[in-house]
C-alpha cells in the first residue's frame, strides 16, 4: 500500500511539474525582441485609438502658435499669433 501511494505521488508531482514547465514555455513564447528597423510595422498609425486627422491638425496649429520659436516642432518659426499657419 505504501509503495502504491508513493507511485501515485510521483505521478502527481511529475504531472504538476510538466504543467508548470508547459505554462512557463507558453508564457515565454509570447515575448520577443523586435529590431528597431521593424518596429515601424508594429506602430502603424491606424492602430492609434485617437487617429483623428482634423484634431491632430488643430493641435499642431495651436502648438505651433504657442511655441513661436524655431526648432520647437521642426518647422520654421512664425510670428506666434497662429495666423500664418
Q: How far apart are CA 24 and CA 46, in angstroms?
A: 33
Question: In the chain, which residue ranges form alpha helices assigned H by DSSP?
Answer: 2-29, 39-42, 53-67
- 20-74: per-residue pLDDT in tens? 999 988 888 777 788 888 877 777 766 666 667 788 888 888 877 776 655 555 6
The answer to whether 73 and 67 are in contact (CB under 8 A) is yes
The yes-or-no verdict on residue 80 having pLDDT over 50 is yes
| N-terminal to C-terminal alpha carbon distance within the chain | 88
pTM: 0.35
**Choice between 66 and 79, residue whose per-residue pLDDT is larger:** 66
Separation CA 63–CA 69 (nearest Å): 11
Q: What is the pLDDT of residue 41?
A: 74
Q: Is 13's pLDDT higher than 80?
A: yes
Amino acid at each position: 500500500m505504501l509503495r502504491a501511494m508513493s507511485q501515485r505521488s510521483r505521478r502527481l508531482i511529475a504531472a504538476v511539474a510538466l504543467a508548470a514547465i508547459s505554462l512557463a514555455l507558453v508564457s515565454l513564447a509570447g515575448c520577443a525582441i523586435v529590431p528597431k528597423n521593424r518596429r515601424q510595422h508594429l506602430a502603424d498609425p491606424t492602430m492609434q485609438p485617437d487617429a483623428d486627422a482634423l484634431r491632430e491638425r488643430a493641435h499642431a496649429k495651436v502648438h505651433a502658435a504657442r511655441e513661436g520659436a524655431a526648432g520647437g516642432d521642426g518647422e520654421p518659426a512664425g510670428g506666434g499669433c497662429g495666423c500664418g499657419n
